[in-house]
Amino acid sequence: MQEIIQYLFSGITTGAIYAVIAVGLSMLYSSTELINFAHGEFVMVGAMAMVTFWVHLAWPLPLAILAAMALGCTLGLLFERFAIRTAKASNPIVLVIITVGASIFLRGTGMLAWGKDPFSVPSFSSHESIEILGAALLPQSIWIVLGAIGLAGGIHFFLKKTLTGKAMVACAVNQKAAWLSGIPSERMAVLAFAISTGCGAIAGIFIAPITMSSYDMGTILGLKGFCAAMIGGLGSLWGAFAGGILLGVLESLGAGLISSGLKDAIAFILLLLILYIRPGGLFAAKEAKRF
């Protein structure tokens, strides 16, 4: 029992991080129909930026977090401007390959900037861990879960309540109609990129204190975020969030109760199951198109 609660705690913590990654991917997909295979690399950038700003340069925590986020957003904007927008391709496969190229490029740059060794980052606060039903709850976990909920809530508020956000949703639903009604769909795509890669960086900031960070940490995290987004339904904000939490919990339970070696397989088994049973995702309103 105590064990299971412990697994649940750690599952929800990693799940919240997957959720943030998935929300970023899902946001971008719903407004540009692009699946960004470089997304995981922005997580890496966020985590490594924390290493530099907070650990090495010893900036105050809030400033370090802001700077890491800003770095993620900026890189995302540069990527959008110089790679995606310049591309003359009409074939979506080509755009996907460009994001793959970007992911390799960013990983290479990360290796050059931070070297091959993994780093660790201390917890955001140095409080003792809290004991609940005999299981230890780390304060960092609380930070992460609260942060993830806050972020998703903020994006929800932005999309539903602000004019810009509503315009963005309109673009996602029907680009041509949005264009006809005067919404600058191109600027919306830029914004979606910045928010999406910003989410990636935030996930990196969250994860840095609970794992070792290195230049090659991004790929697997990006893929898992992708699984989470698919599980919840690609293009749905809370679907992606729930998919992330579900994935984190199942992974942690699976690793603890079955075999830790197969931990990484759980995400992909879930992905296949979803594709077989409910291709639109667990929480999607729409069925996957057939024709």
CB of 250 to other proteins, least distance (A): 14
Q: Does residue 86 bind other proteins (CB under 8 A)?
A: yes
Asked if 87 touches other proteins (CB under 8 A), the answer is yes
Nearest to residue 32, comparing CAs of 83, 106, 105?
A: 83
Least distance from C-beta 11 to other proteins, angstroms?
Answer: 19
Query: Does 130 contact other proteins by CB under 8 A?
Result: no
Q: If binding means CB under 8 A, how many residues of this protein chain bind other proteins?
A: 49
118 is a contact residue toward other proteins (CB under 8 A): no
Closest to other proteins by CB, 212 vs 273, is 273
Q: Tell me which residues in 16-55 interact with other proteins (CB under 8 A).
A: 35, 37
Site map (CB under 8 A) of other proteins, residues 88-107, x = contact: xxxxxxx-xxx-xxxxxxxx
Of 161 and 289, CB closest to other proteins: 289
Q: Which of residues 214-273 bind other proteins (CB under 8 A)?
A: 219, 223, 226-227, 230, 259, 261-262, 264-265, 267-269, 271-272
Query: What minimum distance in Å lies between the beta carbon of 59 and other proteins?
Result: 27
Instruction: Pick the closer one to other proteins by CB: 57 or 173.
Output: 173
Binding site for other proteins (CB under 8 A): 35, 37, 83, 86-94, 96-98, 100-109, 111-112, 219, 223, 226-227, 230, 259, 261-262, 264-265, 267-269, 271-272, 275-276, 279, 288-291
